[in-house]
Structure 1
């Protein structure tokens, strides 16, 4: 090796890290994995870990079923005891045995009264006065009216019928056929059934998100997940608010791929190989076959299973923190130099908002740096020979 080569290699070893590049090298991503801000030497860094995509990890990630709604609200069950509520429309029919009673005549022995339950939960009935209906079943309301009429009417009997259940409505709005107040039946009804009553979603299930608001609790799930996972198709309750949002799932590709941009899934499912293909694949001249990465905020259960409890707790101690919905930062690495990666990659799913990063090969930075330092001294023609000597 001549003196020029030695000088250039020395310069490379001391200054190659300063060469401009489209993101970090594979070695830099791996180096920072599992380290705290103090260990890295920078403040407020995001603590993450790297997991190799192999048969086990791909299977674990693909088999995970999100349970955002059932975990947040519980799946529910029967409707329980149905009671009268404010705004309900009731039909009260009063019968009398005699023809000259309070509610009977020679032509009819019954009287029908249409009532609306007022904000105080009561409604007025002639000769009875204010009757408290709110919180009572139809039978309890019937018995209350009957007891009040025993000494006033002639052998009375009463039937209370529900004609409208304003207190048992569910609001469905957003990207559905027609936003509406959906009245609940006396049988349990699920989210999918209620959305169907509102005309169904206007977009495909894989790009429709369902948000359920119940009291002070809020939960969001992909409609596709609700359809495929029965435990997520929970039962709704009176007063629930359901909002359906059309939000096409996308992922972002960066680095040494031929296309760097945000890309829509355009399909029900997408694996990592298909995601790379949608970006045109890696650029042969610069791509690092061992450096295909997926940056993701992953579900806590998945991260704990991948890392193991001990490693997971260690990462928490190093500063790994969840996002607003409890997911943790994780980086998946796919080594495309292994033949089985073409099989494993087919089973590893891409999720919405993932960042797929294709790392460049370290020699790219070497060539860039040698070109930079060689030109001023008039030895650019020898750069390729130096690279060969250095890399061989």
Structure 2
């Protein structure tokens, strides 16, 4: 009798392979991790590894700060001295000590001149001729005028004031209140200050991406990250282009959950438990508590820290390849059967475009097969086969 039961069990388990199902079992994901395409028999298979979500990995991922803008453009944006440019409007006020000078009378010892810097970078000043302004600071321009008037005016003094800076503009467009060419003052201004001049963002910071284009370099970062991390709020430079785009952060929930699909964050932050809850939770009688997986292209610094240098290099040799942004494919494994999972899950942050997959329990495929069989053979085998699967 025992021999017959074993045979029936084997037949039932073998038949499970013929039952169509949705998505891989946890065992298939676990066994494919760290394998090359050649080892899997699929030459172009994506190479990935699995990392368990525990207190260490959750803390490392949560504490990581992306530095897209500061890394690409340098903290502060490499801003040098602020100088006058072609087209800028200036007010030049000249003072003289005597009442019989070039610019003074008995009624006034000063004169104010409104000038515009010409395409050759110069502007005309009476008795001083063409004076170069472009490329100079206000103080350097003042000293240049003084030098030109030193032997002509009576103890002259000069004040140069900026009245307009058309040469110092930044284009701000997209999801802002007033898309426009924003003029910079003769001071250093940051991204958030320039966005404010353009009417501020028209969408929530947690779903607004900021792209800075400077020459041939481009960097994109979430506005929320710029606000929270001052190192990302870099100084802009004349000629920069800033684009704001609303792109609601979403994740995809698949597998043995009550509500799968693409889901918007709808909040400033989202952790793993909240993400699963947005899909109304896992299905009790079919989900595998040990089989919660999060698929992500992860930042290289995080991958190297979690895997270690040796493991990381080994995966590269096997064919693990980055995406267009230099991030590597990683699968995070989450075990909901442990009590502390409800604590750790609160600290693990979800990122935009994450895929969360809740695998089904192995017994699900067995139940499908036995339902299809629907014979005394299937009924007789059901108890022994189910027990065997559950004891795995």
TM-score (norm 2): 0.88
Distance 1:56 1:98, change over 3 A: closer
**1:345-392 C-alpha deviation (Å, 9 max, x unpaired):** 1111111111010000111112223444x25x7755445345336436
Shift of 1:57: 1.0
Distance 1:96 1:63, change over 3 A: closer
Tell me the number of residue pairs that the alignment of Structure 1 and Structure 2 aligns: 390
C-alpha separation between the residues in 2 aligned to 1:126 and 1:159?
A: 15
Shift of 1:135: 0.9
Shift of 1:107: 6.6
How do 1:319-338 residues align onto structure 2 when only pairs under 5 Å count? Answer: 319-338=319-338
1:301 is aligned to 301
C-alpha separation between the residues in 2 aligned to 1:60 and 1:389?
A: 40
1:171 is aligned to 171
Find the residue that maps to 1:297 and give its secondary structure: strand
How do 1:121-136 residues align onto structure 2 when only pairs under 5 Å count? Answer: 121-125=121-125, 130-136=130-136
Distance 1:36 1:136, change over 3 A: same
1:384 is aligned to 382
Shift of 1:303: 0.8
Structure 2: give runs of 5+ residues left out of the alignment. none
- Larger mean Cα displacement after TM superposition, 240-249 or 120-129: 120-129
How do 1:59-70 residues align onto structure 2 when only pairs under 5 Å count? Answer: 59-70=59-70
**1:127-153 C-alpha deviation (Å, 9 max, x unpaired):** 655433211222333343444455666
2:212 is aligned to 212
**Matched-pair contact (CA < 8 Å) for 1:79–1:187:** no
- Larger mean Cα displacement after TM superposition, 84-93 or 115-124: 115-124
**Matched-pair contact (CA < 8 Å) for 1:89–1:162:** yes
C-alpha separation between the residues in 1 aligned to 2:121 and 2:369?
A: 80
2:24 is aligned to 24
**Matched-pair contact (CA < 8 Å) for 2:51–2:333:** yes
Q: Say yes or no: does 1:352 pair with 2:352.
A: yes
C-alpha separation between the residues in 1 aligned to 2:224 and 2:307?
A: 28
C-alpha separation between the residues in 2 aligned to 1:252 and 1:389?
A: 33
C-alpha separation between the residues in 2 aligned to 1:315 and 1:15?
A: 35
Shift of 1:33: 0.6
How do 1:1-392 residues align onto structure 2 when only pairs under 5 Å count? Answer: 1=1, 8-76=8-76, 80-94=80-94, 111-125=111-125, 130-149=130-149, 158-372=158-372, 374-375=373-374, 379=377, 381-382=379-380, 384-385=382-383, 387-388=385-386, 390-391=388-389
- Larger mean Cα displacement after TM superposition, 17-26 or 258-267: 17-26
C-alpha separation between the residues in 1 aligned to 2:233 and 2:140?
A: 33
C-alpha separation between the residues in 2 aligned to 1:222 and 1:138?
A: 36
**Matched-pair contact (CA < 8 Å) for 2:248–2:265:** yes
**Matched-pair contact (CA < 8 Å) for 1:79–1:186:** no
**1:291-341 C-alpha deviation (Å, 9 max, x unpaired):** 001111111111111111111111111111111112111111111111111
C-alpha separation between the residues in 1 aligned to 2:226 and 2:110?
A: 50
Distance 1:6 1:240, change over 3 A: same
**Matched-pair contact (CA < 8 Å) for 2:251–2:354:** yes
Find the residue that maps to 1:363 and give its secondary structure: helix
**Matched-pair contact (CA < 8 Å) for 1:293–1:332:** yes
- Larger mean Cα displacement after TM superposition, 262-271 or 149-158: 149-158
**1:18-41 C-alpha deviation (Å, 9 max, x unpaired):** 422111110111111111111111
Shift of 1:270: 1.1
RMSD (Å) for aligned C-alpha atoms: 2.9
Structure 1: give runs of 5+ residues left out of the alignment. none
Find the residue that maps to 1:61 and give its secondary structure: helix
Shift of 1:116: 2.2
- Larger mean Cα displacement after TM superposition, 121-130 or 281-290: 121-130
**Matched-pair contact (CA < 8 Å) for 1:367–1:387:** no
**Matched-pair contact (CA < 8 Å) for 1:77–1:188:** no
